[in-house]
Amino acid sequence: MAADPGEGERQRAVGGDLPGEGERQRAVGGDVRPTPRAVAETVTDPELPMLTLADLGVLRDVDTAADGTVIVSITPTYSGCPAMDAMKADLTHRLHAAGYPDVEVRTVLSPPWSTDDITPAGRRALAEHGIAPPGPAPRAAGPVLVALTSRPRTVACPQCGSPDTVLVSQFSSTACKALRRCTACAEPFEHIKEI
């Protein structure tokens, strides 16, 4: 199959001296690779494996640079979440496996991620796995008094739906989850903390 010379030429002019690479990709004719975004969207959160990075609202952007480098922009969830390194490694690995040899994962800090960014599909997935999805995140609108007493809020039990649940621990298996227990069915469950 002959590569389109015009296309190849342009690629070369931009990408420097890697004619072989550009040629080989063109020659495939009809790119059968899934789009970089489709690949990136399949990556799941290491701490909440039932959620994809898209469900979590962590995947901010997927771009392809002129030289073919796939640039994925993700935003950190809970500060210091060690999951970020795992997400980066996973994104890079999946994209390599899907036929994208050059991958750059960038961290975007602004606007900051909030649990409000979790999609409705993501919230359903959490509930289906027995994890109480987060409620609306606290919003700083105008001057806000820093809460000296944390206002208890209702978190319904994901097993039986009872609102009668108690906080067992602010930190569960990971910093982003609190451990609660349902008074009605006695089942302990995790709750994604609102931020």
CB of 162 to Zn ion, least distance (A): 5
Nearer to Zn ion, 112 or 163 (CB): 163
C-alpha closest to that of 94 among 34, 50, 48 = 34
Tell me if 66 contacts Zn ion by CB under 5 A. no
DSSP state of 168: E
Tell me if 157 contacts Zn ion by CB under 5 A. yes
Return the SS3 of 34: coil
Between the alpha carbon of residue 140 and those of residues 68, 143, 147, 195, the distances in Å are 41, 7, 11, 11
Nearer to Zn ion, 62 or 132 (CB): 132
Euclidean distance between CA atoms 91 and 99, whole angstroms: 12
CB of 98 to Zn ion, least distance (A): 41
CB of 106 to Zn ion, least distance (A): 42
Tell me if 156 contacts Zn ion by CB under 5 A. no
CB of 50 to Zn ion, least distance (A): 19
| Contact map string, positions 158 to 187, toward Zn ion, x by CB under 5 A | -xx-x-------------------x-xx--
CB of 48 to Zn ion, least distance (A): 21
| Contact map string, positions 36 to 55, toward Zn ion, x by CB under 5 A | --------------------
Other beta carbons within 10 Å of 2 = 8
E strand or H helix at 56, and its extent? helix 53-56
Euclidean distance between CA atoms 18 and 22, whole angstroms: 7
Euclidean distance between CA atoms 174 and 193, whole angstroms: 11
Other beta carbons within 10 Å of 112 = 12
By the criterion CB under 5 A, which residues form the site for Zn ion? 157, 159-160, 162, 182, 184-185
